[in-house]
């Protein structure tokens, strides 16, 4: 078996994959239903997956519904992303103990667990690649991220349907998993057959697959799988025109739309917490009551909190308008200057999980349309 080979698997082969990875000391993490949502948590059996469930998503709306079949991956993405396993929400950076001659820094960090991520979508692979760039390719390498990242086996899943808030196709981030996986599955459900076309993405993936019950995929089966992904690309619930987006946003820092969106934004920070690429953190020092032990913790923070942009004597983003504008323009414009890529993969989570349904694609559209209207007006006057 070689990289890019396409292999046909059954539901039983997926169960065998779970057992094989567990027997090789991987902790399986993947989608499962909890509290009426599909979240990422520990899996043991195929039946832990959201079998027969799908999700309905719209701005500020998320609802699970039963499907008419037994699909294992028949939903889009939920509130969790993989960043919570790689870029931990709460991390102790160091611990120190008071000794006779001063403080001793203790190195008692556990080695990272081997994790198998099951059901990673194309947009999420792109989000992981973006975080790799931030934590592994800059001047300062994050050693905790690196050690966990080196211990991941990725089983991607090509999306068989797009959600109401998805726009990965416009961000060139999906719905087809193109790279960054060990195995990528496309689920095919026909009236009489339920199978998976698996693409091999790495030597490790080939080795694992060779130990599972499998057969080579027929040409017509490969075509069916390709069509599923192509149909998904054509069904995106949202659209975002990205041409010239960086300059568009830089030209419009004083656009009246920022005031309008600020009047609706609750500054709850949900959009940044669910976003798979947001990476802001803050640090906090704590001591025990005796003063014998001190610890420094790092935790996720957000550009929507006042404290995050507090610089000697005040916040540089004191208004809701300034905070929302900072978030959106960082995602879609200044991120490009900073990391040479967009900070958005079009997963739609910030739209679905915004309690008041603020929609990043809609905000950009309004700003773009107003420029088009202004330009058309100017042309009319000229003529
Ligand atoms: S900005 Fe919104 S749509 Fe884009 S990656 Fe973040 S959560 Fe997903
Ligand atoms: S845009 Fe929505 S999710 Fe983000 S801070 Fe404002 S209200 Fe919260």
Q: Is the pLDDT of residue 313 over 90?
A: no
The pLDDT tens digits for 119-133 are: 999 999 999 999 999
Residue 320's pLDDT is what? 95
Q: What is residue 209's three-state secondary structure?
A: helix
Q: Rounded to an integer, what distance in angstroms lies between the CA atom of residue 135 and that of residue 145?
A: 7
Q: Cα(77) to centroid of ligand 1, in Å?
A: 12
Q: How far apart are CA 274 and CA 16, in angstroms?
A: 32
Which pTM value belongs to this model?
0.95
Atom of ligand 2 at shortest range from CA of 323: 5
pLDDT at 312: 87
Which atom of ligand 2 is closest in space to residue 302's alpha carbon?
A: 5
Q: Is 270 in the pocket of ligand 2 (CB under 6 A)?
A: yes
Tell me if 6 sits within 8 A of 219, measured CB to CB.
Answer: no
The answer to whether the CB of 348 is under 6 A from ligand 1 is yes
Residue 376 is predicted with a pLDDT of 72
26-63: b or e for each residue (b if 16 or more CB lie within 10 Å)? bebbbbbbeeebbebeebeebebbbbebbbebbbeebe
Cβ–ligand 1 distance for 344 under 6 Å, the answer: yes
φ, ψ dihedrals at 300, nearest 5°: -55, 140
Whether 350 and 273 have beta carbons less than 8 Å apart is answered as: no
Place 84 in a pLDDT band, splitting at 50, 70 and 90. very high
Indicate the average pLDDT of the chain: 95
- Taking the C-alpha atoms of residue 113 and residue 130, their distance in angstroms, rounded to an integer, is 22
Q: What is the pLDDT of residue 63?
A: 98
331: Cβ below 6 Å to ligand 1?
yes
312, 313, 329: which is closest to 321 by C-alpha?
Answer: 329
Question: Which DSSP string corresponds to 31-49?
Answer: EEEETTEEEEEE--SGGGS
Spell out the domain ranges in the chain. Answer: 6-234, 245-382
Per-residue pLDDT at 1:
80
Answer whether residue 211 shows pLDDT above 90.
yes
**If you take atom 3 of ligand 2, which residue's CA is the nearest one?**
354
pLDDT for 383 equals 67
**Percentage of the chain lying above the pLDDT 70 cut:** 99
Over residues 3-9, mean pLDDT? 91
* pLDDT over 80 (residue 379): no
Check if 278 has its Cβ closer than 6 Å to any atom of ligand 2: no
Nearest CA to ligand 2 atom 4: 271
Assess contact for 228 and 161: CB atoms under 8 A: no
Query: For residue 156, how far is its CA from the centre of ligand 2 (angstroms)?
Result: 29
* Nearest CA, atom 6, ligand 1: 275
The pLDDT of residue 194: 97
Ligand 1, atom 1, residue with closest C-alpha: 344
Q: How far apart are CA 53 and CA 145, in angstroms?
A: 32
Ligand 2 contact, 354 CB (< 6 A) = yes
Looking at all shown ligands, the one closest to residue 237's CA atom is 1
Alpha-carbon distance of 2 to 337, in angstroms, equals 38
The dihedral sign for the CA sequence 105, 145, 119, 211: negative
Ligand 2 nearest atom to the CA of residue 357, by list position: 2
Ligand 1 geometric centre to CA of 286 (Å): 33
CB atoms < 10 A from the CB of 285, how many?
Answer: 9
Alpha-helical segments (H) within the chain: 11-23, 83-86, 122-136, 143-149, 203-210, 219-234, 245-251, 257-264, 270-274, 320-329, 335-339, 349-352, 360-382
Among 238, 245, 233, smallest CA distance to 342 is for: 245
Residue 249 — very low, low, confident or very high, per pLDDT cuts 50/70/90? very high
Closest listed residue to residue 195, CA positions, set 175, 171, 214, 169: 214
Nearest ligand to the C-alpha atom of residue 173:
1
pLDDT at 136: 97
Least confident of 105-109, 154-158, 251-255, 298-302: 105-109
Report the nearest-CA residue for atom 8 of ligand 1.
Answer: 347
Stretch (H or E) spanning 91? strand 90-99
């Amino acid at each position: 078996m070689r990289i890019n080979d396409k292999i046909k698997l059954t539901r039983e082969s997926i169960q065998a994959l779970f057992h094989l990875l567990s027997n090789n000391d991987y902790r399986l993490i993947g989608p499962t239903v909890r509290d009426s949502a599909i979240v990422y948590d520990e899996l043991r059996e195929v039946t832990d997956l959201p079998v027969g469930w799908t999700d309905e998503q719209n701005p500020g709306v998320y609802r699970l519904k039963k499907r008419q079949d037994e699909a294992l991956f028949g939903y889009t993405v939920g509130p969790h992303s993989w960043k919570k396993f790689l870029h931990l929400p709460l991390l102790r950076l160091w611990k120190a103990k008071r000794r006779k001659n001063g403080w001793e820094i203790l190195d008692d960090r556990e080695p990272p667990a081997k994790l198998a991520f099951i059901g990673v979508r194309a947009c999420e692979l792109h989000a992981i690649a973006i975080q790799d760039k931030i934590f592994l390719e800059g001047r300062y390498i994050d050693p905790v991220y690196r050690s966990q990242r080196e211990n991941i086996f990725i089983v991607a899943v090509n999306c068989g349907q797009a959600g109401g808030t998805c726009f990965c196709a416009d961000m060139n981030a999906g719905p087809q998993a193109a790279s960054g996986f060990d195995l990528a599955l496309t689920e095919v459900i026909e009236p009489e057959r339920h199978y998976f076309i698996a693409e091999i993405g790495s030597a490790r993936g080939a080795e694992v697959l060779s130990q599972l019950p499998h057969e080579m995929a027929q040409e017509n089966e490969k075509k069916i799988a390709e069509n599923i992904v192509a149909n998904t690309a054509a069904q995106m619930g949202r659209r975002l025109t990205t041409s010239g987006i960086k300059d568009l946003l830089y030209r419009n820092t004083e656009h009246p739309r920022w005031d309008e969106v600020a009047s609706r934004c609750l500054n709850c920070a949900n959009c940044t917490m669910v976003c798979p690429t947001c990476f802001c953190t803050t640090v906090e020092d704590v001591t025990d009551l005796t003063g014998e032990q001190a610890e420094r913790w790092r935790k996720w923070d957000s550009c929507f909190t006042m404290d995050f942009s507090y610089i000697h004597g005040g916040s540089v983003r004191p208004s809701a308008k300034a905070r929302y504008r900072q978030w959106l323009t960082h995602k879609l414009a200044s991120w490009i200057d900073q990391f040479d890529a967009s900070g958005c993969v079009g997963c739609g989570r910030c739209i679905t999980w915004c309690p008041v349904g603020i929609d990043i694609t809609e905000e950009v559209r309004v700003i773009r349309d107003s420029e088009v209207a202004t330009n058309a007006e100017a042309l009319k006057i000229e003529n």
